[in-house]
Amino acid sequence: MKTANREFMREWNRKLVLRQIRKEKETSQINLVKKTKLSAGTIVNITKQLRKEGFIRYTGKGKSLSGRRPEKFCFNSDARHVISVALFALETKISVIDLNGKIKHKLSYPTEHEKGEKTVLTNLAKQVKSTLLKYSIPKEKLNSLSVSIEGSVDEETGCLKISSHFGWKNVPVRDTLEKMLGCKTFIESEGRAMALGEYYFGAGKKADSMLCVDIDSGIGTAFIKNGEVYHGAHNLEAELGHSLVLEDGPLCRCGRKGCLEVVSSGSAIIKRTEEMVRTGRIKKQGSLAKISGLPEREAIRIIFEMAEKKDAAVLKILEDAGYYLGLSIANMITYVDPEIIVLTGYVSEEDPGVFLNIVDKVYKEKLFLPNMRKTKIVKSALGEDSVLIGGAAVAYKGIFE
């Protein structure tokens, strides 16, 4: 027990020092003693080891108050890398990210989820190995792998509990990939990863509490307070997309009818537009005539272009979708009272303002005690990269926290 306690304190102190060095632009051993309250001997030993491992870089001599001038050094964000993966049903994105959230390299390939979990994860492991080889990253420079997945994830067990996008249940993603790759692996839901990316590096980085609403093929949410994502007792929190808003509404892929996801998501808006074009309720003209079969991001862009041209039928579709989304966001704000709401996903990224203006108007009308709140809604600052950077943020917590 005593040995275990010593090892724990040694690791605790190391993380404390490393976190402080990372937080400052430049520092010294004397400054670290003041900031961490650790002894001078402990700081000397830890910084010596960190320099040996490449985590800190010498930057010069500081001013002397008495005696020798102190050595100055800074954090080396290239000391290690994180491979961050966004595993979506249609596409998988792989990125190499440094220890400060900067994407160094990025690639993508079709997931082909219909081939089954074993094939998908085996292919992912091959792609990760190929990425390390392609960019000449030695295994000792790889800190960890972080995988963000569409679906409900148990971060403690590393298991994908359920994903209506993949049609998978109870898949031990973390254990499978760790066996295949032999490196520390973190698993998180893509919604929570996006939220962490925006909280630490994007639109929410100055907020204490943040609600992230991801609007793309589905609708996901994540709530962060003081740097911690709320997971819920069963790791099933914040499934806003599967809240019931329309009794006897369209059938959702979860098996129920009337979920918010089948009314207000990007895929729902596209599906309803396609149906109205097919039945002649929207005139089949220009780019709208070829909307069927396009990637969803391109399709939603065309729909927004038609809305800007004041197409009445398209505006009605957006008004209906925006109403239920605005109402749901108002309910979420009433419940968790966040400082800021960040909207992510291709719908908010491509929207020129027409859809989000509808959402904003409805949520303000339906919000309880609006005059007593200063909650603001903003768009993502990281765009498509939020999930990848957020995946890296999941890994950073294991390094620095």
pLDDT at 369 over 90: no
d(C-alpha 341, C-alpha 333), whole Å: 9
pLDDT at 236 over 70: no
User: H-helix or E-strand containing 149?
Assistant: strand 142-149
Mean pLDDT of the chain: 89
pLDDT at 1 over 60: no
> 321-336: per-residue pLDDT in tens?
999 999 999 988 888 8
**Please, what are the domains in the chain?**
2-75 (1.10.10.10), 81-197+386-400 (3.30.420.40), 206-380 (3.30.420.40)
Q: With cut-offs at 50, 70 and 90, classify the pLDDT of residue 67.
A: low
pLDDT of 211 reads 92
More confident call, 240 vs 188:
188
> 125-159: per-residue pLDDT in tens?
999 999 999 999 998 899 999 999 988 888 889 99
pLDDT of 258 reads 84
Residue with tokens 């800021």: 340
User: H-helix or E-strand containing 299?
Assistant: helix 296-308
Cα dist. 285→7, 269, 281 in Å? 69, 18, 12
Q: Are 89 and 110 in contact (CB under 8 A)?
A: no
Report pTM. 0.86
